[in-house]
Structure 1
Amino acid sequence: MDESLPAATQPTAGTGNRSTRAQNAAFTPVRAKRGYEYIVEQVRDAIHSGRFRPGDQLPTEREMAEAFKVSRHGVREAIRGLESNGLVEVRLGVLGGIFVREGDPRTVTRALSDLASLGAFSSESLLEARILLSSDVLRLACERATKDDLQRLEDDIVVVENLVAEPGAERTSHLTEFYRLLAAATHNEVLVALTDSLAQIVHARLNRAAAPPNPDIGRIRRNILNYIRERDAEHAVEEITQHLTQLEHTLLAAEQSRRAQGGVGAR
């Protein structure tokens, strides 16, 4: 018996080879990372650590290829990845180059939308998240909303009422603006990004299922706005919870109908 092995790992008579084979089957060979993956990691780390800040210009493709000891093709592949993730932008022309982008909350929206389109989120989880997030947004909006915030919400409601009133009205992206304005009234940019992301996911599902706009949407939003004006957070939360729950029921019914017809619907 090998004294260097703990007792628990010592092979037993007649089972040693089978046990070893079973253990080895749980492992896969180590694969080295490709060059562009190292570049992406190092550039991302440099941005996160503050060595490169928004607006800063990165070294040229040639300079990075020399520094990383990789081909320029590998550098281009890394830059494309960083660009698609919203970390850098490539500018053309005499004053062009590779620059660190300003923070863009739409990157969060795109990432979550991609996950949703791949079926990463259940409809139950999405509804729960929207209700929880919207409830906190409304409570803060009741505390922090300014006259300008309230006026922007009022103006948006008028626009939506006119859109829904048009014969044969179709669902447009403007219908999600109300949720962004609610979040903006909290004066918390993180809540704005998260609220907009979830609203866009639901909007995409509604479009795929061909669900018509709710004709009562103006009245519901006016009720919410009036509660905010009165600083009545609990009634505002109750109103939006009922609305989002009913919206999800309508959406699920539309998706089921779409699938039954053989159309392209959401999962």
Structure 2
Amino acid sequence: MPAERDMAEMFGISRQSVREALRGLEMSGLVESRPGVTGGVFIREGDPSVVTRAVNDLVSLGALSSESLFEARVMLTTDVIRLAAIRATEEDLQKMEDDIVAFDQQATPIPGEQRTVRVTNFYSLLAAASHNEVLVMLMNSLTEIVQARLNKFGPDPLTDVTRMRRRFVKHLRAGDVDKASSDMEAHLKRVENRLAEKEKKALAN
């Protein structure tokens, strides 16, 4: 896992809070601390959904703000894109393109929660293209939190998702990390702004 300092900056909390969270995860058997020059905190093999539940619990308790989650998601996605640009196979890229086509050609309307899962599947495929199981786990965790927020306030999807993703995969195929990252960050920002507006209205009512 990243160093305590990096995680503190990523989530906008103190290093002491990160340390306490890691201690709790270690007590739960989710991570282990290894001493030495090559040591650090490592995720143990097991059920990846446990990590998702842990992060969701922190969100539910208000320990993690939506702003911090968004920043972490952008940073994580950017790192995933950089690795995917190097490691993605033709099969990985084809899966992303097939997912775009399948979603665009969906014949019948999908119920809200099912549509949310369907539209966010793209991020799982992108993470898989990094061929880094830790990044896959973290990406899926943050994506599930976004799914929960979307379901809570209504999916109300953006209309240009298909076009943006096609352009994104084109940049990824060309190895243009900067353009791919820029397009994705702009899209994630639009989604976050939409969610923030809905959350603000919900609090006002």
Category of TM-score, reference length = shorter chain:
0.7 to 0.9
Task: Using structure 2 for the length normalisation, give the TM-score.
Answer: 0.74
Larger radius of gyration: 1
The match for 1:144 is 87
1:244 pairs with 2:194: no
Q: Which has the higher contact order (CA 8 A, sep 6+)?
A: 2
Checking the alignment, whether the CA contact within 8 Å between 2:96 and 2:125 is kept in structure 1 is: yes
Closer, same or farther in 2 for the Cα pair 1:48/1:197, shift >3 Å?
closer
1:123 pairs with 2:66: yes
1:206 pairs with 2:150: yes
**Partner Cα distance (2:155, 2:124) in 1:** 21
Deviation at 1:259, TM superposition (A): 3.1
**Partner Cα distance (1:224, 1:179) in 2:** 12
Deviation at 1:260, TM superposition (A): 3.3
Letter in 2 for 1:139: R
Per-residue deviation, residues 92-151 of structure 1 (Å, max 9, x unmatched): xxxxxxxxxx62211111211122122221111011001101111001101110010011
Closer, same or farther in 2 for the Cα pair 1:159/1:120, shift >3 Å?
farther
Per-residue deviation, residues 7-39 of structure 1 (Å, max 9, x unmatched): xxxxxxxxxxxxxxxxxxxxxxxxxxxxxxxxx
Closer, same or farther in 2 for the Cα pair 1:168/1:258, shift >3 Å?
farther
Deviation at 1:159, TM superposition (A): 2.3
Residue of structure 1 aligned with 2:55, choices 84, 91, 112: 112
Letter in 1 for 2:204: A
Count of equivalent residues: 168
Hey, which of these two has a bigger chunk of helix by percent? 2
Letter in 2 for 1:122: S
Checking the alignment, whether the CA contact within 8 Å between 1:161 and 1:217 is kept in structure 2 is: no
**Partner Cα distance (1:172, 1:181) in 2:** 15
The match for 1:35 is none
Per-residue deviation, residues 182-229 of structure 1 (Å, max 9, x unmatched): 111010000000000001101111111114111211111111111111
Letter in 1 for 2:81: L
Structure 2 residues without counterparts, runs of 5 or longer: 1-26, 34-43
**Partner Cα distance (2:201, 2:110) in 1:** 20
1:179 pairs with 2:136: no
1:259 pairs with 2:203: yes
Letter in 1 for 2:67: E
Residue of structure 2 aligned with 1:134, choices 74, 77, 80: 77
The match for 1:60 is none
Secondary structure at the residue paired with 1:243? helix
**Partner Cα distance (1:238, 1:106) in 2:** 29
Deviation at 1:48, TM superposition (A): 6.4
Checking the alignment, whether the CA contact within 8 Å between 2:116 and 2:155 is kept in structure 1 is: no
Secondary structure at the residue paired with 1:155? helix
Structure 1 residues without counterparts, runs of 5 or longer: 1-40, 50-86, 88-101, 262-267
Letter in 1 for 2:117: S
Task: Using structure 1 for the length normalisation, give the TM-score.
Answer: 0.57
Closer, same or farther in 2 for the Cα pair 1:168/1:149, shift >3 Å?
closer
Closer, same or farther in 2 for the Cα pair 1:161/1:155, shift >3 Å?
same
**Partner Cα distance (1:197, 1:144) in 2:** 22
Checking the alignment, whether the CA contact within 8 Å between 1:179 and 1:195 is kept in structure 2 is: yes
